[in-house]
Structure 1
Amino acid sequence: MLNVDDIQKIIPHRPPFLLVDRIDELEPGIYGLGVKNVTMNEPYFAGHFPGKAVMPGVIILEALAQTGAIVMLSLKKNEGKIVYFGGMDKVKFRRQVVPGDVLKLEVKIIKDKGNFGVGSAVAYVEDEVAAEAILTFAIM
């Protein structure tokens, strides 16, 4: 398990844009299961939406991407590098994510070709899918 201090040694993201609180499972270059504890203190809730806080879908995708970055940057050969989005495919939002939810972030690397790759990403609240996507990335 990686805590937030360990995570910050792997990826360059920092609050308020660090969107992974811990990693519960990690197979470098292959698989990661992260956790984001969604609280009302998130800065985006001030405007999304007043009176009905809903985590923006793009923020869920970013949390998944950060989990994927941890998976790839945990490889010794990628230490100190940055993972960039290359694209998103088959994005589906299945349920709202609201303050108090614990968002589980699962990323499986399905293609790894040098500095480019593809991950299958699914975000869950309890056992219910909140969002899913195929994420492409570049490591620089």
Structure 2
Amino acid sequence: MLEHAAIRGRIPHAHPMLHVDRVLDMEPYDVIVTSKAITGSETCYARLGPSVAQHALSYPPSLLIESWGQGGALLWLERERAEGRTDTDAPLLAALRGITFHRGVHPGDTLRHTVRIDQYTAAGVIMSGESRCEGELVAEIGYALAVLRPSDKLF
């Protein structure tokens, strides 16, 4: 549905922090399915030596959640644009609860994230969802709160 080049212009994340490769499916304003291919050239593996054990190549859970959350940002900002709000606010994950990690992922794996926006509020959105790899459940996110903040005040 959306390739990487189109995604780059839709959320304020940039290399090396853009962790969505493709939008596979979207039910506007409700559900999005995205993918992220894990490669051995990810920034998180840069300092590992040549004879590293497989467990050391487990993709960091924080980056898995970031990748999942960026899918939610794409879905949310699609609604913002449709309603004529195109300012420079950046979406931020503010709170997470009910996260369960079922197994690690490694270079060569492709994540498939499903994000549901359960509720739109005046202050942000409440989301939930899951991540899978080859159909197997990798992580579940029970509750995520995201808010918009002015981009120029983030750093």
After TM superposition, the score normalised by the length of structure 2 is 0.84
Shift of 1:60: 0.3
Instruction: Extract unaligned runs of 5+ from structure 1.
Output: none
Deviations 1:87-117 (A, max 9, x none): 0000111011000001001100111112311
Tell me which moved more, 45-54 or 120-129: 45-54
Match of residue 97 from structure 1: 105
In structure 2, what residue type is equivalent to 1:103?
A: L
Q: Go from structure 1 to structure 2 and tell me whether the alpha carbon gap of 1:23 and 1:46 turns closer, same or farther (over 3 Å shift).
A: same
* CA gap 1:128/1:6 in 2 versus in 1, 3 angstroms: same
Structure 2: gaps (5+ residues)? 150-155
The correspondence for 1:58, drawn from 62, 75, 83, is 62
* Residues 82, 15 of structure 1: alpha-carbon distance in 2 compared, 3 angstrom cutoff: same
One-letter code aligned to 1:115: A
Structure 1 partner of 2:139: 131
In structure 2, distance between residues paired with 1:82 and 1:55? 25
- The separation in 1 between residues aligned to 2:48 and 2:117, in whole angstroms, is 31
The CA deviation string for residues 20-53 of structure 1, in whole angstroms up to 9 with x for no partner, is 0010112232110000011101010235794321
Q: Larger Cα Rg: Structure 1 or Structure 2?
A: 2
Q: 1:74: which partner in 2?
A: 78
Question: Comparing 68-77 with 39-48, which one deviates more in the overlay?
Answer: 39-48
What's the CA shift for 1:61? 0.3
Task: Give the Cα separation in 1 of the matches to 2:15 and 2:138.
Answer: 23
* Runs (4+) off by over 6 Å: none
Query: Within the alignment, does 1:27 sit opposite 2:34 as a pair?
Result: no
Answering whether residue 86 of structure 2 is matched by residue 84 of structure 1, we say: no
Call closer, same or farther: CA 1:83–1:28 in 2, change over 3 Å. Answer: farther
Distance 1:48 1:35 in 2: 25
CA distance in 2, matches of 1:42, 1:118: 29
Aligned residues with identical type, % of pairs: 26
Secondary structure, aligned partner of 2:45: helix
Normalised by the size of structure 1, how large is the TM-score?
Answer: 0.92
